[in-house]
Amino acid sequence: MSLRISLLSIFIALQAALAFAQDKTYPFICRDSNHIITNNCDWSRLKRTAQMLAKADSTLVKLSVLHIGDSHIQGGWLSEALRQTLQDTYGNGGRGLIAPLKMAGTNQPADYTFTTANRAWKTTKLTSNKRREGASLTGISVAFASSALSLSIGVDNVDHSFGSLTLLHAPTADNVTAHSPSMSITKTGTDSLPYATTFTLPSACQQLPLYNLSGISELWGVILHNNRSGVVLHSIGNNGACYQHYNQLDSFASRTTLFAPDLIIISLGTNEAFGNCKDTNAIKNEIHRLVSALQESNPEAAILLTTPMECDRRQRTRRGRRRRRRTVFTTNTNCLTVRNIIMQYGAENNIAVWDLYTVAGGKGSAAKWVANSLLAKRDHVHCSAEGYRLQGKLLAEALIQSLSEE
């Protein structure tokens, strides 16, 4: 490896360390354990891409990251911190995937908007008992009552302005068309993918109104593109999701090829910890089903599993002479069980792991996160915005360190 690349790697690592030194510190965070456990996997291709971005030449290079998860990912705080930190280091390659979660009746990241005058007459969510095939890829779908759709898509950060976009929708044999009153849009590419249609804009923008959008029966999401080198982070998060839910989606793994991922991060396990964890082989089998399907569809992508951190269970008890009901929280010991399953699976199958359970403080850490307003006091499961930002920065720190190593 050249001296120039080695010096760049050292410079990147020092930049990341300096940025984290300026953050508020928590003594219970185990920073000594904040690294990627490689388990002898081959990340050489991923590291070469990162090093190409570090050289900052005129060649257009994208490092595509696909992050799959549950409610911890859907809210967007963790992904925002991860995206910003990686893009500060390697460049802003675009906002990536956004999904019409609010239209589907659930929470959505705050940095983008979907607005429409059309009425959404049917929505589908990943964990719904009435889930249909149409919810594949992003986990949600929105169907509209009118065949002529008007839709406005926007981002609130000028750094995420987009010069083209790809609409993700239910497979269709029809020609998808759209018009915009503010600028001309041009359909690009072929219709080789019946669930993705790309439009190119004459100039980058933050807000794009689309009128007479036809040929789409169900909308899954939109990928926003720019023409700059850097990291693109696509987040697919669904409340209540487990490994098995993504395994149940038809063609989910094969359709992820659309993102051309260099790295696939899977952050699941919290919801498994609220189920029956006695059959550890059943959980391990679901992990293997998803990982192997993603590997088959994306053979050049690196895979990274993350473990769930400790959280609590809510219990209702009756105490006192009047037997009044009150809420108490007890440690959910299943989090450690699921963590150990993921760690074992990674070690046995040469899959990299980021051990958030240990990094967050290990056993007894949930109470410390609650006391520091990092874990939400209302349920002791989800984090505050600050808690998720901390997780995202810690993950980014571990990734940058790993990608900087020779």
Task: Please report the pLDDT score of residue 5 as a whole number.
Answer: 47
Whole-angstrom distance, CA of residue 125 vs CA of residue 140: 5
Whole-angstrom distance, CA of residue 83 vs CA of residue 77: 10
Which two three-digit tokens encode residue 107? 């929470």
Low-confidence ranges of the chain (pLDDT < 50): 1, 3-5, 7, 10-11, 14, 18-22
264-289: b (≥16 Cβ within 10 Å) or e: bbbbbbbbbbbeebeeeeebbebbbb
Which two three-digit tokens encode residue 73? 């990912």
Rounded to a whole number of angstroms, the CA Rg of the chain reads 22
Say what the pTM is.
Answer: 0.91
In 3D, which of 340, 327, 263 has the Cα closest to residue 300? 263
Q: How many helices (H) and strands (E) does the chain have?
A: 11, 18
Task: Please report the pLDDT score of residue 190 as a whole number.
Answer: 59
What digits encode the pLDDT tens for the residues 111-169?
999 998 887 778 889 988 665 555 679 999 998 877 778 899 999 999 999 999 999 99
User: Residue for token digits 């089903």?
Assistant: 289
Which two three-digit tokens encode residue 127? 């964990």
Which two three-digit tokens encode residue 185? 């849009």
Task: Please report the pLDDT score of residue 391 as a whole number.
Answer: 98
- What is the number of alpha carbons within 13 Å of residue 100 lying toward its C-beta? 25
For 70-176, list the strands marked E by DSSP: 96-98, 112-115, 120-125, 140-144, 149-155, 162-169
Task: Please report the pLDDT score of residue 6 as a whole number.
Answer: 52
Task: Please report the pLDDT score of residue 48 as a whole number.
Answer: 94
